[in-house]
Amino acid sequence: MNSKSLLFSVTIVIQSLTKAFSQSLPPKTIWQIDSLFSTWTSNTSPGCTIGIVRNDTLVYAKGYGMANLEYDVANTPETIFHVASISKQFTAWSVLLLAREGKLNLTDDIHKYLPCFPDLKAKITIQHLLNHTSGIRDQWQLLAISGTRLDDVVTQDQIIKVLAKQRALNFTPGDQYNYSSSGYTMLAEIVKSVTGQTLRQFADSAIFKPLKMTNTHFHDNGAEIVRNRSYSYNRMEETHFTNSTLSCSTAGATGLLTNIVDLAVWVTSLCNPVKADQQTVEMLTKKLALNSGERLTYASGITVNTFKGWKQYAHGGSDAGFRTHMAVFPEKKMGFVVLSNVGDFDPDARVHALADLFLEENKMEPKRESAYSPARVLADTLGLAKLAGNYIGDDGLPLSFEKKGTGLYSHLFDQTALLQQDSPNNFSLGGADRARFIFKTDGKDTTVDVKAADQCYHLDKYT
């Protein structure tokens, strides 16, 4: 078969897949959906795949842009993506299955299963790990401080060794919410301690095979070849992209490889769980409280809040150039998934733009808590160049901002992202419950508050 014939055949297959997944939507709706992703239809740029689930059916799925720029491979609904922190809900589900079977208790001290973790004079429970209230420092911060480049190969054992060297917690367990991937790497190790299986092995047998999610696994070997997977990119100029390296060999906090077709099955299992899984869904989405009594919106590996008055289970992810988001509306039996392979993509915004097309207002939407804290806000005349610079948090976390053209980019270790400007001094970024960046000034000092979900993080500019 010559190259033209091959290209034609591939095109027909892609068109057939798209048609198969869009037969139940009217043409006007399909046009509205495609319009949301018109920027990403080029065969010279990365893009995304999307899926819309309604009443147990994947009613629309389509790929936009390219999965691999070097070999001209297009994104399709069956393209496999690294979904980053969307992985956490599958890790949580694994732990909750073991709890349901009586093989562990969520109130157990983690040292029962992880004797290598130092005694920090405070009881840390499995539940603390599940909802990010343990006080354990984030693994990516610790690795960066130790001199590890995040595009180096990072292994599970390497992370565990770094975590085992901690000598203090950020706070008393249960006192605060602080999103920490460390907890989910530790949960993977707890699964291994209880079952004798790696998280990959356990999830395969307990989750993916029963649900027939045949294109899904925890990718705990970064060197392993996976057919039909996408590669991630960062935008350097308007039409110029570079490879964004992803070389982690870890599972728990991240590491899940999957596609739209399989995630549609997962969405259905959350909306319409079989009788045996109803209790696990309730456990996964149960919101608990801090020691103070303040209730959290982060449950176990998933955020539970509302959108347009409807209950929403949501989570996003960001690794290398992958940007992902999934939102499930159990009361409407609907779910929306967007998986992208380019670093300046905002999947949160796209998911909720899709949801806007299908969800009417249920009731008065609760007023969003203001991200502003009582302080003098920067004058509207302050330009992006004055916001740019290097900032540092109380615990030493470095974060920098760079003005490029008309945009402001954040740099956290080796991760770069374009911020959406909502006002002269208010920016946002999609992810696990949309992050907001609020810049303020007091005389010559400039600060930024980063707020996401139940967490607010303060940084001061030093250069």
Q: How many angstroms separate the CA atoms of 347 and 153, rounded?
A: 26
Segments making up each domain of the chain, as ranges: 84-358, 384-461
Torsion of CA 184, 187, 191, 194, to 10 degrees: 170
Question: pLDDT tier at 13 (50, 70, 90 boundaries)?
Answer: very low
How does residue 416 score in pLDDT terms, banded at 50, 70 and 90?
Answer: confident
Buried b (16+ CB within 10 A) or exposed e, 82-104: bbbbbbbbbbbbbbbbbbeeeeb
196 Cβ contact list (under 8 Å, min separation 6):
none
Strands 407-412, 240-243: pairing is unpaired
The rounded mean pLDDT for the chain is: 87
Architecture per CATH, domain 384-461, reads as Beta Barrel (2.40)
Of 156, 188, 155, 182, the C-alpha closest to 170 is 182
**Cα 356 to Cα 308: distance, rounded to the nearest angstrom:** 8
How high is the pLDDT of residue 9?
A: 35
Q: Indicate whether this model's pTM tops 0.95.
A: no
Give 111-128 as a DSSP string.
GGT-TTS---SS--BHHH
What confidence score (pLDDT) does residue 312 get? Answer: 98
Classify 84-358 by CATH class: alpha beta
Take residue 416 and report the two structure tokens written for it.
């770069």
Tokens 């037969």 — which residue?
23
- Strands 248-249, 154-155: pairing is parallel
Q: Which residues contact 5 (CB under 8 A, 6 or more apart)?
A: none
**pLDDT tens digits, residue range 245-293?**
887 899 999 999 999 999 999 999 999 999 989 999 999 999 999 999 9
- Measured between alpha carbons, how far is 191 from 203 in angstroms, rounded to an integer? 10
Burial environment of residue 156 by CB neighbours within 10 A (0 to 12, 13 to 18, 19 or more):
buried
Tens of pLDDT, residue by residue over 55-96, are 999 999 999 999 999 999 999 999 999 999 999 999 999 999
Per-residue pLDDT, 261: 98
| 450 CB-near residues (< 8 Å, 6+ apart) | 399, 435, 436, 437, 456, 457, 458, 459
The DSSP result for 67-105, as a single string, is EETTTTEEP-TT-BEE-GGGGHHHHHHHHHHHHHTTS--
Range scoring the smallest mean pLDDT among 53-67, 292-306, 340-354, 442-456 = 442-456
